[in-house]
Amino acid sequence: MKFVKMHGLGNDFLIFDCLENGDSEHAPVWLNAERVQKLCDRHYGIGADGVICVLPSKVADFRMLICNADGSRAQMCGNGIRCIGKYVSDHGKTEQENLRIETDAGVRQLRLDKGTDRVAVTAVRVDMGTPEFVPEHISARFSYTGVSMGNPHCVIFLNKKEELDQIPMEVYGTEMEHHPAFPNGTNVEFAWIQDAGHIFVRVWERGCGETKACGTGACAVAAAAMRMRKCAMSVVVVLPGGELRVTYGTRSRHLYLTGPAEEIFSGEVKIG
């Protein structure tokens, strides 16, 4: 089966094109947790943070089905959906520059930027919808804000950049991912606000561990900081893999995520 490996700021995915034989309502028959784990294994498989299937949709232009590296299903992925936008455009699946993508968290709208040469997509802007907040909590270690961007996030602000750089992500990320307040697990973001225009973030993704970047995580952090009036309504979120811009639409009350997506290589893998 053919695949394309893509990434958004180092958050990498294996993209499988299931448009011809895929079902608009069900997952491909070959897609299961064990197979996803093998594909994503960086030593014995191809290696990735997740697997994405591009499927037909009855309610949008395309449907995105994404599984984390541990095989669990993800509702939404900001970096993954930008990769899908670039894939369907660059591979001739659509000529549109404004797309609607169905996800398990609902339909998201994308705007593709093809740059000056008008050939390949260089950046994608995603309407991420309205963030939903849950009451702030204090765990045994941290005070945190719960934010839903279609998937759950636990946002923890730190006082110093050094704290962010040195925090043992595997210890505290795992602890917070499985905190009793999140019975289905959660993504965890540790953040430091440099100034009104820049927030530095490290992410522990549910079902993946620490990743280079997380689009929904960047939005969750920005939403929490905006709510606290600690940053501007348009802010650059600096992640280990690079920068994303998150902007709040005062009329729509939606967050808009803008960032790059890149194709790394393509190949073929035996499924069976």
Per residue, the 3-state secondary structure of 123-188, as one string, reads: EEEEEEECCEEEEEEECCCCEEEEEECCCEEEEEECCCHHHHHHCCHHHHHHHHHCCCCCCCCCEE
Strand partners for 265: 5
pLDDT digits (tens, 9 = 90+) for 83-93: 999 999 999 99
Give catalytic status of residue 53 as yes or no: no
Catalytic residue among 18, 77, 83, 154: 77
Rg of the chain on CA atoms, in Å: 18
Over range 19-41, report the average pLDDT: 90
Residue 9 makes CB contacts below 8 A (sequence gap 6+) with 79, 212, 213, 239, 241, 242, 243, 244, 259, 260
Per-residue confidence at 122, pLDDT binned at 50, 70, 90? very high
* CA 240 from centre of chain: 14
Q: Rounded to whole angstroms, how far apart are CA atoms 237 and 214?
A: 10
2-126+259-268 and 132-253: identical CATH topology: yes
Q: Rounded to whole angstroms, how far apart are CA atoms 156 and 235?
A: 17
* CATH number, domain 2-126+259-268: 3.10.310.10
Give catalytic status of residue 219 as yes or no: no
pLDDT digits (tens, 9 = 90+) for 197-231: 999 999 999 999 999 999 999 999 999 999 999 99
Of the listed ranges 14-28, 39-53, 130-144, 200-214, the least confidently predicted one is: 130-144
Place of tokens 């709208």: 109
- pTM of the model as a whole: 0.94
Catalytic residue among 53, 214, 219, 231: 214
| CATH level 3 topology of 132-253 | Diaminopimelate Epimerase; Chain A, domain 1 (3.10.310)
Q: What ranges do the domains of the chain cover? A: 2-126+259-268, 132-253
Q: CA-CA distances (angstroms) from residue 16 to 200, 219, 259? A: 32, 26, 22
Is 113 a residue whose pLDDT tops 70? Answer: yes
DSSP 8-state code for residue 208: T
Per-residue confidence at 115, pLDDT binned at 50, 70, 90? confident
How much is the pLDDT for 91? 97
Is 82 a residue whose pLDDT tops 90? Answer: yes
